[in-house]
Amino acid sequence: MALGSIASLASPYILKIIIDKVFPSKDFHLLVKVLLILFSINIARILVSFCSDYLFEWVSNHIMLDIRKDLFSHMIRLPMSFFDKNKTGDMIHRINSEVNTIQSLLTGSMLRFINGILMIVGLGVALCLLNYKLFLISLITIPFIFINTLYFQSKIRRLIKKSREKDADILAYLIERLENVKLIKIYTKYVHENNKLTGKINEWIHFNLRNVVLSSTTKGFSTLLISFTPILIFYWGGGLVIKDALTIGSLVAFIQYLNRLYDPLRDMMSLYIDIVRSSVSMRRIYEFFELSQELSETDSSNDLIIHKSIEFKDVSFSYDSNLVLNKLSLEFKAGKVYAIVGTSGCGKSTIINLLCRFYEKESGQIFIDGQELEHIGINSLRKKIALITQDNQLFHDTIWENIKYGNETAPKDEITKSAKVTGIYDHIMTIDDKFDSVVGDKGTKLSGGQKQRIAIARALLKKSDVVILDEATSALDSESEKQIFNNLRDIYKDKTMILVSHRLSAIKEVDEIICMDKGQVVEQGSHEALINTKGFYYSLFKNQIE
């Protein structure tokens, strides 16, 4: 860029030589020599421009890659409470649109700014060498240009921030509606949703138009001030030419250089708006970067083995000041199968979330083989827990890749075996692409039961010490559910298995049932024992029992 800027400064000076030396001396050979020099300079400009463009694109793409990768890597390590409080659309907007804006600043805008500075400095030196008095006169309007720019700075920044927030809100709205398109269809809310979207877009347009008004106004004033400069130069320089104090070639060259100075100056005005816009994006991104990640590994216990028990002792936890667990105490012993049952909101899933350390308890203690949970590294802990939820959480990828996600290094025969254990293998063999079949977004090409079988097969590959099924077989019929549980019990006979379910068929064969109500254990025992007492458990499943 620097070489290109230097080369571009040669043309006006060569024009001065032609006017002041070649034409008066009528030296044709000198003219040819000067023109060859000019042609060579233009060839050099093309070569350095090619190199500059290539490097620009390389730097631009790698900056975008680094920021987006670092932001994504940081976000997925944030606590679950972060994802509870933030919209998916806003997070995607920051990873995508805000990073694109910063990429534009750090590459396009920043390089243009550097190039503009080089050009302004080079042109300033050339103007000063031609005639320093005219150069000083041309600087008169510069302070007024900067005052004008600074005056509009805060107003433009506020409008850009508002516009960004509205843009992110629109993206969040679209994602939420597309994820719930069945709800829109069954309630025929097409017009309602269109009107809501129109209102949001109109708000975004409103802030954009106000931003354009201010940006255009500040650029307009700056352009007016810049356009006043040539009038002063022609007035003063023309007088010097008339008095023979300045050659015509020098004045022409001075005006040429001055005209070239306008473009980078005007560009600076536009770049200022880009810089303000990018500064807003930077703030929005660093709001996420400044958030603390989940507690990092506090030890090197990557070889953690859960072979005795998991114990909750007087554990309490609240969601947004709503008490969910109230001094809960219970124990899961290795080699046994447990079921947690209770009414909605009683704290069943919260127990799982605390055990996996998706959330941190407020008080009490959680022990694994006598060691406090806080003293076990999060990654070490989670490597030993397989969690299958009702959501199934399949990726838009092949069946093979979805199962293999449980263990990337698993050999082919283990992946096939896990598919057979869960009963999905026979179905896979009936479809055209077999394991290479793409399941669709969130597994839309599969039935609910098939999605759950794949999710369980994925968990099997993890070979964990604790297996948790949170309504993980709700879409399966009772016979299939029973078969899968029997297979799992055979595989994990020395491990801990925890079921969370509302179906009696899923829990009556377990070793111990834990009944919860209002964040506490109210009953505990085998299915037969709890049925005979005809207490909380009996009343909870009375309709299914009968």
Long-range CB contacts (< 8 A, 24+ apart) of 278-282?
A: 278/101, 278/102, 278/104, 278/105, 278/106, 278/109, 279/157, 280/157, 280/160, 280/161, 280/164, 281/97, 281/98, 281/99, 281/101, 281/102, 281/105, 281/164, 282/102
As a whole number of angstroms, the longest Cα–Cα distance in the chain is: 121
Mapping DSSP onto H, E and C, the string for 395-447 reads CCCEHHHHHHCCCCCCCHHHHHHHHHHHCCHHHHHHCCCHHHCECCHHHCCCC
Q: pTM for this one?
A: 0.69
What is the predicted pLDDT for the residue at 300?
44
In the block, tokens 């002792």 appear at 313
Residue 16 makes CB contacts below 8 A (sequence gap 6+) with 130, 249, 250, 252, 253
Per-residue model confidence (pLDDT) at position 301:
46
* Residue 270, pLDDT score: 67
Looking at residue 407, its amino acid is N
| Helix pair 248-289, 142-179: axis angle to 10 deg | 40
CATH topology for 309-545 is Rossmann fold (3.40.50)
Q: Which CATH number applies to 2-289: 3.40.50.150, 1.20.1560.10, 3.40.50.410, 3.40.50.720?
A: 1.20.1560.10
CA distances from 179 to 107, 441, 523 (A): 35, 10, 39
Instruction: Check residue 337 and report its DSSP letter.
Output: E
In the numeric block, the tokens 């994006």 are attached to 281
Is the Cβ–Cβ distance between 470 and 500 less than 8 Å? yes
The rounded average pLDDT for each run of 10 residues, N- to C-terminus, in the chain (546 residues) is 74 76 81 84 84 81 84 85 82 83 73 77 80 79 75 78 83 80 76 87 87 80 75 76 78 76 70 75 85 63 72 88 87 89 85 88 88 84 85 81 85 88 86 84 80 87 87 77 82 86 79 88 88 84 69
CA separation for the pair 96, 116 (Å, rounded): 28
Fold matches, 2-289 and 309-545: no
Helix, strand or coil, per DSSP, at residue 364: strand
DSSP 518: T
Give the pLDDT of residue 403: 87
Is residue 258 within 8 A of residue 229, CB to CB? The reply is yes
Neighbours of 426 (CB within 10 A): 9
Please report, for the chain, the start and end positions of each structural domain, with discontinuous segments joined by +. Answer: 2-289, 309-545
